[in-house]
Amino acid sequence: MLRVDQATVHFKARDGSTVHALDSVSLDIGDGELTVALGASGCGKSTLLSAMAGFLPLSSGAITLNGRPVTGPGRDRGVVFQKDSLLPWKSVEQNVALGLKLAGLGWREQKEKTSQLLGSVGLQDFAQSPPYELSGGMRQRVGLARALATDPEILLMDEPFGALDSLTREHMQLLLIDVWHKTGKKVFFITHSIDEALLLATRVIVMSPRPGRITHQFDLNFVRAVAHGANPRSVKTSSQYLHMRELLRDLIHSTEHPLERLA
């Protein structure tokens, strides 16, 4: 279990004032849970992910993974970035194998594990391509495979599909559901798309800015239905889904644009 306990992050802004990026946020992500953080930019969701990944120290509070405190980045937490962070001088295969190489695994083991991972994200035919010859969606699949290679406890995904066109995005969402269902990994996923949150989450947390905090949490089941073979389109047109969607929309707009409510 990944436990976030009263995590608070204060930045010093350039003008000397203090920015309360994260204010006493508590959150548990259990095994097999896909937790999605939903909110506008500036609500602290990326800050929360950075702290979980160990890129950012906390001002106060604690983050633990299976009881061990998170003190820095480590291979027990795989990160998938929004901007592709692939290394352009390495082939797709070498990029996916990076974590295994850094861990000192032999060439044969790297090859074996890598080809299996590339198969699971549908990129077996592109193993030798350089990343810059791939489309945006394919690059994100490489990023996902790379993060999975070290068999992390949890996947931390920072708006991984945010820069993709909507068709590719839907494909990627289904791919993620498939990977999540097959591996049973914990996932923490950031988005500002309500539909993405509804489709992917077993739990959605709604965050609001200034100070960044969790305002609402909902447990959802749409992702389990899709994972067990339900048609995503009929899920998305079901009355529960549409109801939740209106609810989340209201919540987000009430926290983000207080003026809009007056109109």
Partner 1 sequence: MNPANPLVGAALVHLDPPLDLKLEQPQIKTVKPREFGVGERSTLTISLLTVLLLGLLWWTVTERQWVGRVFLPSPAEVLRLAIDIFSEGYANATLLEHLLASLSRILSGALIAVALGIPLGLLAGLSPWVKGVLDAPVEFYWPLPPLAYLPLMIIWLGIGEMSKITLLALAMFAPVFLSAQAGVRSLPVERVQAALSLGATRWQLLREVVFPSALPEILTGIRIAVGVGWSTLVAAELIASTKGIGYMIMSASHFLATDAVFVGIAWIAICAFGFSWGIRSLERLLVPWKGKS
Residues that bind partner 1 (CB under 8 A): 53-55, 72-75, 77-79, 81, 83-89, 98-99, 101-103, 130-132, 146-147, 149-150
Question: What is the residue whose two structure tokens read 């295969």?
Answer: 93
Listed in order, strand segments (DSSP E) in the chain are 2-12, 18-29, 34-38, 60-65, 68-69, 77-80, 154-158, 186-191, 203-208, 213-219
| H and E: helices and strands count for the chain | 11, 10
- The CB-of-76 to partner 1 minimum distance in angstroms stands at 9
Q: Which is nearer to partner 1, 1 or 98 (CB)?
A: 98
Residue 30 φ then ψ, to 5°: -85, 175
Type of residue numbered 128: Q
- The CB-of-231 to partner 1 minimum distance in angstroms stands at 35
- The CB-of-81 to partner 1 minimum distance in angstroms stands at 5
Q: Which is nearer to partner 1, 62 or 103 (CB)?
A: 103
Q: Which is nearer to partner 1, 14 or 89 (CB)?
A: 89
Q: Which is nearer to partner 1, 90 or 192 (CB)?
A: 90
42-62 burial code (b ≥16 CB/10 A, e <16): bbbbbbbbbbbbbebebbebe
Q: Using alpha carbons, select from 209, 257, 231 the residue that is nearest to residue 20.
A: 209
CB 212 within 8 A of CB 26: no
Q: Which is nearer to partner 1, 75 or 111 (CB)?
A: 75
